[in-house]
Chain A
């Protein structure tokens, strides 16, 4: 009888111990208030774009120089100019330049640079992390969760889609001279320069 009682008491203590380490209680209103104060990716992205991304685009290597280096010495080009938040093969480059439009379709503007290098500039599908990662100015350790980082990339892309591309998309035509600055991604293991597609943060038709 005594043994059984001890068993029950030990079982209850164990359950209470596990429960106390498993759940906690808060006021729902406090939790909601704290959730409202969470990271504002849109605000961060706007600030990042104006104070970091556009200045970085100004200092980016010229497309002709960068493409030539990628052809002649890809390792040096990756070492000197690429950035990335993770350790994968996908790396990001900032780039700027001028070129003549050779074709326009619903997704891209196709240009030839001064040195006759072909490049694509995206005007429809602007997604991914290129503009977030290419300048190498965002430190992954400053963020407690990856969703915030993903949201920054999404918000920067959103600004480009809403503000950078529309003035150009409707007007650009073959033969136009354009100035651009932006970012692109390249797979370090399988370098394919023909597939480069620049996501622009600056894009204008030269007069």
Chain B
């Protein structure tokens, strides 16, 4: 009985334990790790992954997957930057529509949401497997980004825009505030709203959820829409940090997001997982990345280590599911 309770606690806090052990290990090997600057650096770096991973968690909880988040991130950032810098020209009416900072951000978010909603619509309407539908969107969104930017970065976006990715507010970097808001809202959605309960129910047993009257299509479309919007939030942060919207931004970010979700204990078959678990997963990946850089590990080995950690997380998850 005591052993079972102990095991249950260990499973519950496995991500946290892994994070603490990782921090201690890297801290012992590098004296630069436990510094305030490095702490903020890690937090700033993971803020983008947190935004994407939170959206990915909602999708994975429904039993789906979204491979398009990296490309949606790129187009979200590019649209925000493009609207701010170039506005929209309508030569036939001799009209120029300019966008303020707020307008450009909303523009990026709307595009991200629309692409996400389209993913959800394609998945539910045509029963396209999420893997395939979002893989298609990965290419489509990247193509649109290239078309919109003509393959060139959109740079020099001004100090106000740069503040989003590089500014500080009450002693904390703005991207950290943004990711904190995303986390809090996502926790409220998953734990305190009907939508959250529907998400878990669909992931747990879609057929039963349908029979109990949940509008599966509507919930899924909303979830993919949220994932798209959060990818665009990440895109705006990345663009702001670089003061430049890069057409190839966000490549392979979906892998880090999926890794954060899996390491955080969310089941890839849906229905089980938490936002805080994903946040811990993102922290583990961020700390791991940071630690490997501080320890001068070759970038090639970094990839091997990261892949190994993800594999280990999935194996542990499988073992836990079996024991459950």
Contact = CB atoms under 8 A, between A and B. Distances in A.
Given A18-B106, A145-B156, A28 B95 contact: yes
A29 B95 CA distance: 8
A29 B93 CA distance: 10
B156 A26 contact: no
Interface in A9-50: 18, 21-31
Contact of B91 (A18, A25, A28, A145): A28
A1 interface: no
A26 B100 CA distance: 13
Nearest to B92: A28
Interface string B96-110: 111110110010000
A141 interface: no
A27 B98 contact: no
A146 B156 contact: yes
Given A23-B103, A28-B89, A28-B91, A147 B156 contact: yes
Given A28-B89, A146-B156, A21 B102 contact: yes
Nearest to A22: B103
Contacts of B96: 25-28, 30-31
B4 interface: no
A21 B103 contact: yes
B95 A27 contact: yes
Contacts of A25: 95-98
A21 B91 CA distance: 23
Interface in A86-117: none
Contacts of A21: 100, 102-103
A30 B97 CA distance: 12
Contacts of B97: 23-25
A23 B90 CA distance: 14
A90 to B, nearest CB: 19
Contacts of A23: 97-100, 103
Interface string A104-148: 000000000000000000000000000000000000000001110
B94 interface: yes
A24 B102 contact: no
B302 interface: no
A117 B102 CA distance: 57
A28 B91 CA distance: 7
Contact of B94 (A18, A22, A29): A29
B282 to A, nearest CB: 30
A18 B102 contact: yes
Which of A18, A21, A23, A147 has the most C-beta atoms of chain B within 10 angstroms of its own C-beta?
A: A23
Nearest to A19: B103
A28 B98 CA distance: 10
Interface string B131-173: 0000000000000000000000001101000000000000000
Top 9 nearest A-B pairs (CB, nearest first) are A22-B103, A147-B156, A31-B96, A28-B96, A26-B96, A145-B156, A24-B98, A28-B94, A23-B103
11 contacts: A21-B100, A21-B102, A21-B103, A22-B100, A23-B98, A23-B100, A29-B94, A31-B87, A145-B156, A147-B155, A147-B156
Interface of B: 87, 89-91, 93-100, 102-103, 106, 155-156, 158, 243
Given A23-B98, A28-B93, A31-B87, 10 more contacts: A18-B102, A21-B102, A23-B97, A23-B99, A23-B100, A24-B100, A28-B89, A31-B96, A145-B158, A146-B243
